Structures are given as structure tokens and as C-alpha cells.
A and B are shown apart, each in its own frame.
Chain A
Amino acid sequence: MPSIEVHTDHCKGCGLCVDICPANVIEFSKEINNLGYHPAQYKGEGCTGCTLCFYTCPEPDAIVVHRKD
């Protein structure tokens, strides 16, 4: 199954990935990260591997997309 990983400490909580995700499987975490933001987090299932969150994310190392297992 495709999935994403969010590197929580490198996320600035801009929400572009949350907004762009067609499957609606990314949300904001309730935690506050070391940069002082509510980072994005994967809901845990439903990722289609469309890659849009990776491309819309302005940070180099905040999101990794696994298109296949």
C-alpha cells in the first residue's frame, strides 16, 4: 500500500499538503514540534501515492512518499 511519512521536526505546519491531498488522509497533529508548529501527520491509511503532498511541500525533508510498498 502507498503511504507517506512526515518528518515532524521539519514541518512548518503550512497545511498545503493537508489542503492538496485528494484522499484527505493528512491532518494536523495536536502536538507542537520543535519549530513551534502543529505539524502535518498521516491519518494512517488511504494514501493513493499520488505524490502531490511531496511536490506541494516547500520543505526539502518534511514529507516522503512511498508510492508502492
Chain B
Amino acid sequence: MAQLKNVLEKPSSFYDVFLRKPDKYQQDTHYCPGCGHGILHKLIAEAIDDFGIADRTIMISPVGCSVFVYYYFDTGNFQVAHGRAPAVATGIKRNHPDSIVISYQGDGDLGAIGGNNILQAANRGESITVFFVNNAIYGMTGGQMAPTTLLGQKTMTSPYGRKATWEGYPLKVSELLSTLEAPVYIERVALTYGKELMKARKAVRKAIQTQIDGKGFSLVEALSMCPSGWRKTPVDAKKWVKEEMEKTFPLGVYKDITAEREKGSWDRRFEEVPLDKYHELLGLTGKAKEIGGDMSKVEEKYRNPEFLIAGFGGQGVLLLGKALAETGMRHNWNSTWIPSYGPEMRGGTANCHVKISDKKIGSPVVDNPDVLIVLNQPSLDKFEKDLKPGGLLIYNTTMIHKKPTRTDIDILPMPASEMADKLGSLRVANMVIIGAIIEKTKLFDLDVVFDTLNNIVSHKKFIPMNIDAINKGIEYVKNYKG
């Protein structure tokens, strides 16, 4: 047995005062008397103390009675969408491989709505620790049947007792997950009597140690009392775990290959990818490597610009955005592009958001663009109001007959579709507009734009027509008299 301190008291990984708790009882949990959650919380907190990992531990609170795990643990905390704790844990762990990520979940969260999440995370062998509280009932919502409810067990929603032919069998999570190859350690314990409690304590510590050692996915399923949901006294509830629950959910180690796994063998660390490798992967050739754009030389209103481009699907809206984003990237700036379109390939409406910046970009979403490009009437009607005051609006007069109404913006009408048609294809209307953007904003090096075309235009024979179109757009702006 792991070493015991001389004085056992409230672990310091719990907050001294639970300030996040809205009532005045900020030393006490929100749990009912005799609830197993408090017991497991204490075992986890003690282990975090003893391993000295509080400053790098991140607890994930689920949905269920334990939704407020973050009230109690003086660690990093996330409260996540129902059942999604393993997915969030995956994201955190992979980005912060030195953190200790603990996913704390109940049977509704893990076994029902989050069933596939836990299955996939376990199968990927994420180096996380999952504590799964199985109390055979939905406690928080008032005692409904859970995936782990026993056969014959009466709940609010199985008033005659659970029947296999009607509600299926209790879900045996530990058994199920232990058939997978990736998990390293899976054990079922009970938070009940002396022997069981001490085994539970040992399992909690082992599961956390396994993560510290970088050995992969571990899960401890804890059979836990829900005196309120079961309508029993805490002591009777404990007895019921032993006499009834353990028959369906036998205690024990279901999988343990910790001894065979090398330390750190399931740690996932991103390797720094050299810039050249990126260039190679993205097919960035020609000038791309040498050009370093200088945003400070760009006119202030187009510095770190945000674009919104909208029109019918098939008008090249998305490609236009892609061309801008990739050209931006080739100037060594950061860029983002997100499309938004319906299921139709042609027809329907489409729009995309593009950001280009010499700084890091937080969100790729553009709410108020600096430059708005609209290729059809519905897009103008929809987005005109969103353009920043003083921003640039380019609209396609071939298809937009109701003129923009704002007077606080810079407006460039251009018959983009008509110009494209004259060049031989309506589909290069987007390139005509790119030409206009280049000339208006002076953001890009023209050669880099042409370089970009090689990458994003799939049929090489169309490249000359695209270049023509861009040049036409530039010319149009030069000659435009307003």
C-alpha cells in the first residue's frame, strides 16, 4: 500500500474555499449525503497532492452531478459539453503533453451520450486518465434509467424494472474497452468498504501514475453510491453496491499492460516542422520562398485585412477567397479561409471569410469585413450593412441592379461577369475581381499572385485565361473614374 501521512486531512489540491460555489456553504460539496462522488474526489485530490502535480493537472468536468468538479479542484479546469470530455481531453493533452489530463465522467455522460467519444479516445490510446463513476442511474436529473442500470432495477423511467428485451442489458464499459488494443490499464473498483476503498485508492493512483509515465490510456470505473437516486440510506446504498451491482459489474483489473509499456512510449509530442518542409508539402515553389511581405507599407485601411466574399455557388467565390488567402500566405503572412455554403455545388449561395495578417489570427470568422466582394444581389442585400465604415465594396454590376445604399464606404462597381464572358468564360469573373483587389489594395506582389494560380487552378490550360482576367481587373481599376 502506498505510504500514508501521519495526519490525513483535506488535500491541498482542493481549494481552501469553494468560491465558485454560489451558496454560502463554501467548505462543503454540493453532493447529497453519502454520495460516492465526494469519496472519489478525495482519492483523486490526495493523489494529485502526493504526486506534486497540481500545477500541471487539468480536470475535465462532465455533465451530470459532477458538473461542478471545477468548484473543488485547485488545478486547471474545463467544463465541457455532455459526453465530450474525452475529445476535449485529447485536444488538451496533445497540445500540452506535459499536462496531466483527468477526465471525470458519470455513466450517462460516458456510457450514453458520450459512448462513442470514450470508445474512440480509448482506441487511440490517448494518454489521459479517465475516472468513470458508475452509479447505475441518472442522479442529477432525478433517478432515470442509465445505460448501466441493472436488470430488474426500478428507476423513474423503468418503473417495473429494467428488462433486457425492452431496454437492453447494462453496459459493461470496462469489459468493452478492455477488448481494445490501445488502452494500457482498466480496472473496476467500488467506493464502499475498507478493502474495496483501499483498492480504489490504489487504482486511482496507478491510473494517474500511468499518465505521468506516458504509457497511454487508463480508465478506472468506480461503482458508486447514489443514495438519493436509489431511495436508500447511504449505508444501505453501500450494501446494494456490494450485493447487487457487483454481480453485474464484477470488480477487478480488466486490462493491465503497464509493465510491458516503455515509459513515454505513448506520449505524443509535435515535432517542429521546418519551414522548407511546409513549402514542400504545400507545393510552394518559385518566388514564394523569398517573398516577405511588408504590411507596414500597405495603406492603413487595408493593413491586416479581413475579406468577405459572397455570391452564387459556381461563381468562384470560394476559389477567390482561397487565392487571396494563399497569396497572403506566400507573402509570409498568416492567413485563414473558411467557406460557408449549402450542399449544392452550383446554384445556392456561398460565401467565404478570409483574413490576412502579419500577426497571429485568433478567429477566422469575419463579422465586419474591410473588403466586401459581392457577386449577386442577395449577397449585397445581406452583407452591405456589415462592411466597416470606410471599407471597400466591390460589386458585380452584371448581376446586381439594385445599387448599394451606403454612403460611408468606398464603392467599386464592376461588370465582372461581363468582362469574364468577353475573355471566354464566365468562370473567370473571380479573377477579374482579384485584379481589382490587387490594384485597389496594393497588398500583393503580382508575381506571387501568378505563382499562386499554379497551385489553385486545377486545369493548367486555364491559367493563361486567369492571368488575362487578373490583368483586365487591374486595368479596369486604373481606368475607373468613379
CB-based nearest B residue for A53? B8
CB-based nearest A residue for B39? A58
Known A-B contacts A51-B4, A67-B7, A68-B6; the reply to A57 vs B38 at CB < 8 A is yes
Min distance, Cβ A52 to any Cβ of chain B, angstroms:
5
Min distance, Cβ B155 to any Cβ of chain A, angstroms:
22
Size bracket of the A interface: 20 to 34
Most buried by B among A14, A19, A64, A67: A14
Known A-B contacts A55-B201, A57-B38, A57-B42; the reply to A65 vs B8 at CB < 8 A is yes
**Residue pair B6, A66 in contact (C-beta under 8 Å):** yes
Q: Which of B118-126, B227-235, B443-451, B467-475 contacts A (4 or more CB under 8 A)?
A: B227-235
Min distance, Cβ A13 to any Cβ of chain B, angstroms:
6
Chain B residues contacting A51 (CB-CB under 8 Å) are 4, 8
**Residue pair A58, B72 in contact (C-beta under 8 Å):** no
Cβ-defined partner of A67 (8 Å) among B6, B37, B43, B227? B6
Min distance, Cβ B54 to any Cβ of chain A, angstroms:
14
Chain A residues contacting B38 (CB-CB under 8 Å) are 57-60
B341 beta carbon closer than 8 Å to chain A: no
Cβ-defined partner of B8 (8 Å) among A16, A22, A54? A54
**Residue pair B6, A16 in contact (C-beta under 8 Å):** no
Most buried by A among B4, B5, B14, B72: B4
Known A-B contacts A60-B11, A60-B45, A67-B8; the reply to A55 vs B39 at CB < 8 A is yes
Most buried by A among B7, B31, B201, B227: B7
B33 beta carbon closer than 8 Å to chain A: yes
Besides A59-B29, A61-B14, 5 other A-B contacts (C-beta < 8 A): A9-B27, A15-B234, A56-B39, A58-B39, A65-B9
Which residues of B are at the interface with A, using a C-beta cutoff of 8 A? 4-11, 14, 25, 27-29, 31-39, 41-43, 45, 72, 191, 193-194, 197-198, 201, 227, 233-235, 238
